[in-house]
């Protein structure tokens, strides 16, 4: 992830964490893999 500032990186991590905590996240992964 080159080119991201620390602030942007923090936003990405928070976003991924929010997704990870979401109940439907497994359905999203299945959709991406499908």
Sign of CA dihedral 31, 20, 18, 6: negative
> What local confidence, expressed as pLDDT, does residue 32 receive?
72
> What local confidence, expressed as pLDDT, does residue 18 receive?
83
> What local confidence, expressed as pLDDT, does residue 7 receive?
94
Q: Does the pTM of the predicted model rise above 0.95? A: no
Non-local (6+) Cβ contacts of 30 within 8 A are none
HEC secondary structure over the chain: CCCCCHHHHHHHHHHHHHHHCCCCHHHHHHHHHC
> What's the token pair of residue 19?
């997704």
> What local confidence, expressed as pLDDT, does residue 10 receive?
92
The model's pLDDT over 1-34, given as tens digits with 9 standing for 90+, comes to 578 899 999 998 888 888 777 766 666 666 776 6
> What local confidence, expressed as pLDDT, does residue 19 receive?
79
Measure the CA–CA gap between 30 and 32, rounded to whole angstroms.
5
């Amino acid at each position: 992830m080159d080119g991201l500032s620390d602030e942007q990186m923090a936003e990405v991590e928070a976003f991924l964490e929010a997704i990870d905590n979401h109940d439907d996240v497994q359905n999203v992964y299945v959709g991406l893999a499908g």
